[in-house]
């Protein structure tokens, strides 16, 4: 059961509601987000929701049986939209394209890509400044200085910055320069990081762990929401299977499932997902029809010279074609008897 | 290396060519299909292909490094099209929709579905008469009598019959009533069955094993081709992963990969692939954009009453909507800068 | 529910029993094995088993809830033992070592290995004469002539022959020369083959499909049993995972699970399972402690020269050491407070 | 290439060595552990190692081609042993048994288990105080206060404390009360945590990620080593597969592989690995024969009442039997012609 509280719910009202619920056998968790206050009630007991609904301080009561109630569509039938300012909004109709290099490598690289994105009308740029690398001897990113120059050029061009945060201690220093905090696949169950991002008033792009079940992905989103932040984007980015012909196996089945079970926006990362440059556009288009609200694309002026992930990165010509086709397809999607 | 022989290549010419190749260190396999004759030459040696090309009896020579040369796109850049007669053709532009029940259950069921397909302009019907079931106590299909009535009603309406063959001994009795022989996921590496289907002059729809690599799928297709039958359709139908929210994990990455590596048409079976009725249309549409040449859809007048697989089967209203959307999308696909 | 019938159960008694069960809502399957007759009753209804037990013709009645009742331990608590004649028995205490080459390659090879096995006291020899190969261009085995020479030398030395059957039509020609019919991983769900092996009065070694669940393995065993043959050996041989450092991932968890759920003997094939020569002995020893009743080991005088699978094959010195260690461990196992 | 430096290697010697290597095309990383100083040289160039070996300041030079050179057996053939003080040592011959509850729940629970372990001669106790839980609403552990009472009772009985650290900021407060820092499966690629644990002079037990490749596990160990801490224990704990009959699939193949490739000790966690109480002892014994240096066992006085993981936890009688059998088996292992 999920209870939305009135803004002006007094402490004594709250106490009385919680008492009623606890007596009825529920374990009650109080959740206070940047938007509003909730009570998450876990338990198998049955209670007449009208009685709860009539308590002073209660705005609405919902029967939610999902184990992750806050992110469930059972109480919130409409898609969550996220406003990024400057007229940029994450929503199904706006379909979001996030593009950029795997890693921020130099100011020159940033300038070139920002200019290209501007020209193409792309409003969000991705780029790693802390790179999680399997080997300690690989390039680990430019760090906070890279983020500053990344952010400078984006701000000057009204482009939003999407970049990965790897640990709690980085959040504060990254905050002024970041529009969307990305949680990478290896950190999907870094629960301390999720808790900390729940205290931040900026959106979080949560990537599915490379062998995480979808139920676990939703639980990780529930961590962030229950810590206070409702602006969460789920992202499918490929899972591990026995197949060796591509880097990962992009699991597009996840998209209709997540859209069905949760009100959160769902993105897709075909670049990491299939990991083969020639197949990225096809998989991006497929993800649109699977029902995604946005895609992340790795692009680079000269993928061959990229410091990481060049084999899955589109060059500018390929990117242009992909953007154009995606946009045409999104238009068609609006007109389908869906 | 792959050599196409002239129709009129004499035995003595052939002997001389094979001798040259054997001396050069190749293992030569002679392949005689319903279309033409080939020599498959396996080996790491280098030979001047112009010398081979100039031999009498040789039509063309191709350098093919793929381990499954006959099904490779390296020598045959154009997509293979398959003519089913009555103006029905399997090709990228025609996009094939195959629809029908999981299992043929009764004459009444066949009549109802055939009528619906006719009305909807669907030209191929699927339906199992030998059902591979995990448990020996499950319904195993109506057998050859079921096929006869299935075939009768289809023929009367110019609809082609697609049905699964499970063992070599069934091929002959099924032949008069079958237009496309389906090889199921559990038989993808039933090599005796593949060899036997290579001797048949009707198309084979080869489903990917539920944990087969794509390289193994291509090898299985190579079995059929090298035994004589060039009419092969590859079909992605979902793989096994750790995810429990859907029956299988439809692997759409397979589609651009297979289209890239092979000249054979590639179908997709979203019904088995995701196995959840509500997500089937989305995955069907996604497979179109991934590049499929056709889809298989499980449909039934009353899925709730189907003897098998009802939970992944569309009813007639859902089917109509799916057909319509797929067709619109295929039209768009033709116009994309693809 | 599982009913064992008396040998002398008359037709009229049988009819009356089946009628009672059918009226009670069960789906009844009559199973007639080389040993005895059963009725497999599937259904959710409850019936007083004493009433059934008192019917004339009924020997015993067992409540069995497993979906594969015949192979379940719920009605047969004691391990099934299989007598191969000549004092050779498959049973937990006897622990069976099956050794031999991947493929029978020549008479000379057979003679060398038979001699070595004789010397080492090994009583069962494995060796493929029909080889299922991914590629149609690979060595596919010596066929029935290979089996004849394999069998001759084994018989002369009281060694039992274990070899793979790939299709129904091979059973009859193989029968005189085969002591245990092996069903390979690719055929675990070749249901026609399973049905046919149910009619044979020789043991079947059923290998787990490379991505089969254990429940499916038990269902495949149920096919054989319900077709008439109770002499079944289950065999774990490695599954497919994302790990690339070994050929397959030998799943030893399967062994305690299968021993727990089924009364059938359970073997392990570490050679295919891990597929790396240096790790085979360790995995064989581990399988003993996991609870296996036997192991299959690939051995060859000169693995480097083997026509297939050399990289996972032990030479004679390695084999000797492995046999010795396995035997010591089996002795210890008998003394553990298990 | 890996270079061990002399303790008294001067800065000018170091500079000269690094210059030589850089000029030869190597990327050189300087590693300073609690034990000694190394230079890790990555690159494909060839250099006469005798010339490097003769440089002043160089103690030894090793050709190491493994991508994770510091943890590789290529330069350190002997097993790494870890001395925990009080005569407790992690080494193959000592075979380590770590036992304890999934989570520390109360002082009473700790007292009961410590007493039992003492009685059984077990010298290391495991127990979680920060519990990584999929759902934010599950019990997350007693935190640092739980650790203090856990540590008090262990110290008083000369038992070593093994417990999981979840984030960098916890290390300092945990340090006085922890003997071995465990990194859980979800944090195997939390690179910041690995870096931080490299600065700590206490052993780290690094669990394999639930879908991590073994190469990634070794890379994560390399992170810790290259940050300064050589005391690392690798731990196999089960991977994700399609099988649903057990919680995870314990991958015992990993043990001979890791022992082959790395000099680090390798533990096994059969409790999480198979996740079914009845199969834990078998898998523990199997892991001994696979070559493990130690096992982790979840035990509880009353598993049925445990706050987490009760279904995979042994009670005291089962534990006693397991300890006894493991010890007998370890003795046998010493005598095998291994």
| Domain termination site, one of A63, A91, A109 | A63
Number of helices and strands in chain D (H, E):
11, 14
Q: B171 — phi, psi (to 5°)?
A: -55, -50
One domain, residues B50 and B132:
no
Q: Is residue A263 part of a domain?
A: yes
The confidence band for B338, taking pLDDT boundaries of 50, 70 and 90, is low
**Residues B131-134: contacts with CB within 8 Å, 24+ apart?**
B131/B102, B131/B103, B131/B164, B131/B308, B132/B164, B132/B166, B132/B184, B132/B186, B132/B187, B132/C189, B132/C191, B133/B308, B133/C191, B134/C189, B134/C215, B134/C216, B134/C219, B134/C220
- Same domain? For D287 and D236 the reply is yes
Which residues, in sequence order, are bridge partners of residue A314?
A299
Top-ranked range on mean pLDDT: pick from B308-317, D50-59, D280-289 = D280-289
% of chain B surpassing 70 pLDDT: 99
**Predicted confidence (pLDDT) at residue B159 exceeds the cutoff of 70:** yes
Q: Of A12, A34, A63, which closes a domain?
A: A63
Q: Which helix (H) or strand (E) holds D177?
A: none
Strand B160-164, strand B124-126: pairing: parallel
Kindly state whether residues A156 and A54 are assigned to the same domain. no
Last residue of a domain, one of B33, B63, B93: B63
Looking at the domain assignment, is residue B144 inside a domain?
Answer: yes
The span from the CA of B297 to the CA of B66, in Å, is 32
Q: Do D42 and D86 reside in the same domain of the chain?
A: no
Choice between D79 and A134, residue whose per-residue pLDDT is larger: D79
Q: How confident is the model at residue D307 (pLDDT cuts 50, 70, 90)?
A: confident
Alpha-carbon distance of B54 to C185, in angstroms, equals 46
How high is the pLDDT of residue C338? 59
DSSP B184-249: -GGGTT-HHHHHHHTT-SS-EEEEPPTT--HHHHHHHHHHHHHTT---EEEEE--B--S--SSSSB
Neighbours of A11 (CB within 10 A): 8
Q: Using the beta-carbon criterion (under 8 Å), do B137 and C187 form an inter-chain contact?
A: no
- Is D288 part of any domain? yes
Burial per residue of A299-311, b for 16 or more beta-carbon CB atoms within 10 angstroms, e otherwise: bbbebeebbbbbe
Q: Is the Cα torsion angle B22, B27, B32, B38 positive or negative in sign? A: negative
Residues of B in contact with C133 (CB under 8 A): 191
Cα(D315)–Cα(D305) distance, rounded to whole angstroms?
11
B3-15, pLDDT tens digit by residue?
Answer: 999 998 999 999 9
A214 and A244 co-located in one domain: yes
Instruction: Look at residues A250, A244, A242, A243 and name the one whose alpha carbon lies nearest to residue A269.
Output: A250
Of all residues in chain B, the percent with pLDDT exceeding 90 is: 90
Q: What residue of C is the nearest CA neighbor of B133?
A: C191
Write down the pLDDT at residue B337. 65
Q: How far apart are CA A40 and CA D315, in angstroms?
A: 35
Mean pLDDT within D284-293: 98
Residue in the structure block whose two tokens are 């048949």 = B200
**DSSP string over A63-128:** ---SSSGGGBTTT--SPP-EEEETTEEE-TTT-EEEEE-SB---HHHHHHHHHHHHHHT--EEE-B
Q: For residue D244, which residues of chain B lie inside 8 Å, CB to CB?
A: 244
- % chain D with pLDDT above 90: 90
Task: Please check whether residues A9 and A108 belong to one and the same domain.
Answer: no
Residues of A in contact with B328 (CB under 8 A): 332, 335-336
DSSP C233-265: EEEE--B--S--SSSSB--TTHHHHHHHHBSS-
What residues pair up with D2 in beta bridges, in sequence order?
D40, D62
Residues in chain D within 8 Å Cβ distance of C241: 239, 241, 249, 251
Q: What pLDDT score was predicted for residue D338?
A: 59
- D175 with D119, same domain: the answer is yes
Do both D58 and D187 map to the same domain? no
For C120, the 3-state DSSP assignment is helix
Euclidean distance between CA atoms D207 and A335, whole angstroms = 50
Class of residue D265 by CB neighbours under 10 A (exposed 0-12, middle 13-18, buried 19+): buried
Residue among A133, A136, A226 whose CB faces D136 most closely: A226
**pLDDT of residue D239 exceeding 80:** yes
Residue D73 lies in a domain: no
- Residue A214 sits in a domain whose CATH number is 3.20.20.70
β partners of residue D297: D99
Helix (H, G, I), strand (E, B) or coil at C88: strand
Nearest C-alpha in D relative to A135:
D219
- My answer on whether D321 and D178 are in the same domain is yes
Nearest to A117 by CA among A109, A128, A125, A107: A125
Please give the torsion angle defined by the CA atoms of residues B241, B247, B249 and B250, in that order, rounded to the nearest 10 degrees.
150
Mutation target to probe the C interface, by most C beta carbons within 10 A, among B2, B31, B137 is B137
At CB < 8 Å, which residues of chain D contact C? 211, 213-215, 239, 241-246, 249-253, 255-257, 260, 273-274, 276, 278-279, 282-283, 285-291, 321, 324-325, 328-329, 332, 335-338
How high is the pLDDT of residue A287?
98
A73 part of a folded domain = no
CB contact under 8 A, D243 and C214: yes
Q: The pTM is what?
A: 0.95
Mean pLDDT confidence for B334-338: 78
Q: How many residues does chain B have?
A: 338
Per-residue DSSP letter, C201: S
Q: CA of B238 to nearest chain A CA: how many angstroms apart?
A: 10
Binned at pLDDT 50, 70 and 90, residue D337 comes out as: low
Contact between D325 and C334 under an 8 Å Cβ cutoff? The reply is: no
**What is the model's pLDDT at position B310?**
85
Q: Is residue D69 part of a domain?
A: no
Residues in A whose CB is inside 8 Å of some CB of D read: 27, 29, 40, 42, 67-68, 132-137, 166-169, 186-187, 189-193, 210-211, 215-216, 219-220, 222-223, 226-227, 240
How many CA atoms lie less than 13 Å away from A114 in the CB half-sphere? 21
pLDDT tens for chain C, 338 residues: list them: 999 999 989 999 999 999 999 999 999 999 999 999 999 999 877 788 888 999 999 999 999 999 999 999 999 999 999 999 999 999 988 999 999 999 999 999 999 999 999 999 999 999 999 988 889 998 889 999 999 999 999 999 999 999 999 999 999 999 999 999 999 999 999 999 999 999 999 999 999 999 999 999 999 999 999 999 999 999 999 999 999 999 999 999 999 999 999 999 999 999 999 999 999 999 999 999 999 999 999 999 999 998 888 899 999 999 999 999 999 999 999 988 65
Q: State residue B308's pLDDT score.
A: 83
DSSP 8-class letter at D301: S
pLDDT value for C269: 98
Q: Are residues C111 and C49 in the same domain?
A: no
For residues C88 and C124, is the Cβ–Cβ distance under 8 A?
A: yes
d(CA A31, CA A29): 6
- Please tell me whether residues A32 and A142 are part of one structural domain: no
Question: For B64-115, how does the pLDDT look when each residue is reduced to its tens digit (9 = 90+)?
Answer: 999 999 999 999 999 999 999 989 999 988 999 999 999 999 999 999 999 9
- The chains found to touch C (3+ Cβ pairs under 8 angstroms) are A, B, D
Residue A337 pLDDT: 65
Taking residues D222-234, what's their average pLDDT? 98
Nearest chain A residue to C244, by CA: A242
Q: Are the C-beta atoms of residues C233 and C203 closer than 8 Å to each other?
A: yes
Collect all residues from B whose CB is shorter than 8 A from any CB in D.
211, 240-242, 244
- At B335, the pLDDT band (50, 70, 90 cuts) reads confident
A135–D67 CB contact, under 8 Å: yes
Tally of domains within chain D: 2
Residues of chain A with pLDDT under 50: none
DSSP category for residue B253: T
pLDDT value of position C337 = 65
Residue of chain B whose Cα is closest to the Cα of C242:
B241
Q: pLDDT (tens digit, 9 = 90+) per residue, C205-216?
A: 999 999 999 999
Q: Are residues C131 and C198 in the same domain?
A: yes
Residue B288 confidence (pLDDT):
98
Q: Is residue C263 part of a domain?
A: yes
Residue-wise pLDDT tens digits, B208-242: 999 999 999 999 999 999 999 999 999 999 999 99
Question: Are β-strands D124-126 and D160-164 bridged in parallel, bridged antiparallel, or unpaired?
Answer: parallel
Q: Read off the pLDDT of each residue in B283-310 and give the average, rounded to a whole number.
A: 94
Report the pLDDT value the prediction gives residue C147, as an integer from 0 to 100: 98
Max Cα separation, chain A?
65
pLDDT digits (tens, 9 = 90+) for B112-144: 999 999 999 999 999 999 988 889 998 889 999
* Chain D residues near any Cβ of chain A (below 8 Å): 27, 29, 40, 42, 67-68, 132-137, 166-169, 186-187, 189-193, 210-211, 215-216, 219-220, 222-223, 226-227, 240
Query: Range of C23's domain?
Result: 2-62
On whether residue C165 sits in a domain, the answer given is yes
The residues, any chain, with a CB within 8 Å of residue A145's CB and separated by 6 or more, are none
Judge: A240–C240 Cβ closer than 8 Å, yes or no: no
- For residue C129, the 8-state DSSP code is S
Give D-chain residues touching A226 at CB under 8 angstroms: 136-137
Show the 3-state SS of B28-49.
EEEEECCCCEEEEEECCCCCCH
**CA geometry: angle at B318 spanning B312 and B319, to 5°?**
85
- Alpha carbon B225 to chain centroid, angstroms: 12
State the best of B219, B282, B291, B319 to mutate against chain A, taking most chain A CBs within 10 Å: B282
What phi, psi does B116 have (nearest 5°)?
Answer: -60, -45
Q: Over the Cα atoms of chain D, what is R_g?
A: 21
CB A331 within 8 A of CB A288: no
């Amino acid at each position: 059961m999920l209870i939305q509280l009135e803004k002006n719910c007094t402490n004594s009202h709250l106490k009385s509601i919680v008492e009623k619920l606890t007596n009825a056998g529920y374990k009650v968790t109080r959740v206070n987000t940047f938007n509003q206050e909730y009570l998450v009630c876990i338990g198998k007991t049955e209670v007449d929701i009208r009685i709860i609904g009539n308590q002073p301080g209660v705005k609405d009561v919902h029967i939610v049986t999902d184990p992750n109630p806050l992110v469930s569509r059972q109480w919130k039938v409409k898609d969550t939209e996220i406003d990024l300012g400057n007229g940029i909004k994450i929503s199904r109709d706006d379909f979001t394209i996030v593009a950029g290099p795997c890693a921020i490598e130099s100011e020159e690289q940033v300038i070139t890509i920002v200019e290209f994105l501007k020209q193409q009308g792309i409003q969000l740029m991705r780029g790693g400044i802390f790179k999680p690398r399997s080997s300690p001897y690989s390039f680990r990113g430019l760090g906070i200085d890279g983020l500053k120059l990344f952010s400078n050029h984006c701000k000057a061009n009204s482009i939003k910055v999407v970049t990965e945060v790897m640990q709690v201690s980085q959040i504060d220093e990254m905050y002024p320069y970041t529009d969307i905090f990305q949680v990478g696949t290896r950190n999907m169950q870094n629960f301390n990081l999720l808790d900390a991002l729940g205290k931040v008033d900026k959106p979080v792009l949560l990537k599915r762990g490379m062998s995480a079940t979808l139920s676990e992905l939703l639980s990780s989103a529930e961590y962030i929401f229950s810590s206070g932040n409702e602006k969460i984007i789920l992202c499918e980015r490929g899972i591990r299977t026995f197949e060796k012909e591509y880097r990962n196996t992009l699991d597009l089945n996840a998209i209709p499932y997540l859209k069905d079970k949760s009100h959160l926006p769902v993105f897709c990362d075909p670049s990491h997902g299939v990991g083969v440059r020639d197949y990225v556009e096809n998989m991006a288009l497929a993800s649109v029809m699977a029902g995604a609200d946005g895609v992340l694309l790795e692009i680079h002026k000269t993928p061959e010279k990229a410091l990481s992930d060049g084999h899955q990165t589109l060059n500018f010509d390929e990117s242009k074609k992909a953007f154009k086709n995606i946009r045409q397809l999104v238009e068609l999607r609006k007109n389908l008897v869906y």
